[in-house]
Amino acid sequence: MQGWSDYVKDKYDRKVGSGFHHYTMFKTRVAFKYALRYCHSHSEQLTADAGATDLLDTHNPNKFWKGILRETNGRSAKYATEVNDASGDTDVCMMYEK
């Protein structure tokens, strides 16, 4: 899940026992649920932010494209299938022949 490490993980790790710490456990559970709800409702924005961060990473230039491949599950096309009004390989090639 996008945003887990940034918003949810630290709240998930703070589980407290029982008895004396019940109030703390209750507050921790509420914070965890709010953080998880935030990640679910802002998943597209968190994914875009992670992609932008990967694009700016100069130490690992392939990290951005690996993230794109992971997000699209390998369904992305290598070449454009539509250019202006042309659709499909043949029509795009015919457009450039003119």
Q: What confidence tens digit (pLDDT) does each residue in 68-88 have?
A: 888 877 676 666 677 777 777
46 CB neighbour count, 10 Å cutoff? 19
Residues 66, 34: one domain?
A: no
- Domain hosting 12: range is 4-44
C-beta separation of 12 from 55 below 8 A = no
Total number of domains in the chain: 2
Q: In terms of domains, do 37 and 65 share one?
A: no
Confidence check: pLDDT of 42 > 60: yes
Residue 33 lies in a domain: yes
Q: Are residues 67 and 93 in the same domain?
A: yes
Residue 89 lies in a domain: yes
pTM for the model stands at 0.49
The stretches of 7-88 forming alpha helices (DSSP H) are: 9-12, 22-41, 43-56, 63-72
CA-based max dimension of the chain: 80
Q: Which residue has the higher pLDDT, 17 or 72?
A: 72
Chain-centroid distance, C-alpha 43: 6
